């Protein structure tokens, strides 16, 4: 399959269950849909990658945060920014951490467009955390190694 065909197919598959890895491909439209589907919950969306060391440090902390506040309406959503070659590794890492929430993998035909659609001010740097309130409005953005106490405080305000 040519790259463009693959990307188009992945885009069409956005928000559908993923293939063998268990990760769901997501593009711009799929991202909008997942936010809409999460209305009523406070969403903590984590963009990460297997090659990103601080992302791997962050994820277990985020899993703990979700466990702590799940009953109050917090939902953790992970979006891997790995290449197809690393998809199996990404899936394995999430399984090891017992990430229970929806797990996506970025598959957009245009990375620039995807990144801008998430947040026009985001450069694409990882890790990147975005918090959405129960109405689906973005309520917080944390890029790079963030202060998890600040993230938790921001979440608690919304829960």
Partner 1 sequence: MGRAISLWAATLLAAGAFGQEFKLGSKVSDFGLRDVSGAPVAFGKLKGQVTVIGFIATQCPISNDYNGRMKALYTDYHPKGVHFVFINPNNTEPAGDVAQHTKQNGFPFAVYKDERNVVADRFGAEFTPEVFVVDSEGVIRYHGAIDDSRVEARVKAQSLRKALDAMLAGQSVEPARTRAFGCTIKRVKKTS
Site residues (CB under 8 A) for partner 1? 3, 49, 51-54, 81, 83, 85, 111-112, 115, 119, 121-127, 141-147, 150
Closer CB to partner 1, 36 or 83, in the complex? 83
Give which of 91, 93, 84, 86 is closest to 21, Cα–Cα.
91
Residues with Cβ within 8 Å of residue 21, at least 6 apart in sequence: 87, 88, 90, 91, 105
- Shortest reach from residue 67's CB to partner 1, in Å: 22
- Shortest reach from residue 17's CB to partner 1, in Å: 25
Closer CB to partner 1, 32 or 89, in the complex? 89
Q: In what order do the strands lie in the sheet with 24-26?
A: 24-26, 103-106, 74-80, 42-48, 128-132, 138-143
- Shortest reach from residue 71's CB to partner 1, in Å: 27
Closer CB to partner 1, 20 or 112, in the complex? 112
Q: How many angstroms separate the first and last alpha carbons of the chain?
A: 45
Closer CB to partner 1, 15 or 155, in the complex? 155
């Amino acid at each position: 399959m040519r790259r463009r065909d693959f990307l188009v197919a992945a885009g069409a598959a956005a928000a559908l269950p993923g293939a063998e890895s268990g990760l769901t491909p997501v593009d711009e439209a799929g991202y909008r849909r997942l936010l809409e589907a999460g209305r009523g919950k406070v969403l903590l969306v984590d963009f990460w990658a297997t090659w990103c060391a601080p992302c791997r440090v962050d994820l277990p902390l985020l899993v703990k945060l979700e466990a702590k506040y799940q009953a109050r309406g917090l939902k953790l959503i992970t979006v891997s920014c790995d290449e197809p070659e690393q998809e199996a590794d990404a899936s394995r890492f999430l399984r090891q951490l017992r990430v229970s929430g929806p797990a996506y993998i970025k598959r957009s035909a245009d990375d620039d467009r995807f990144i801008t659609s998430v947040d026009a001010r985001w450069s694409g740097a990882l890790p990147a955390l975005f918090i959405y309130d129960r109405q689906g409005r973005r309520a917080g953005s944390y890029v790079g190694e963030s202060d998890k106490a600040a993230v938790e405080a921001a979440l608690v305000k919304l829960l």
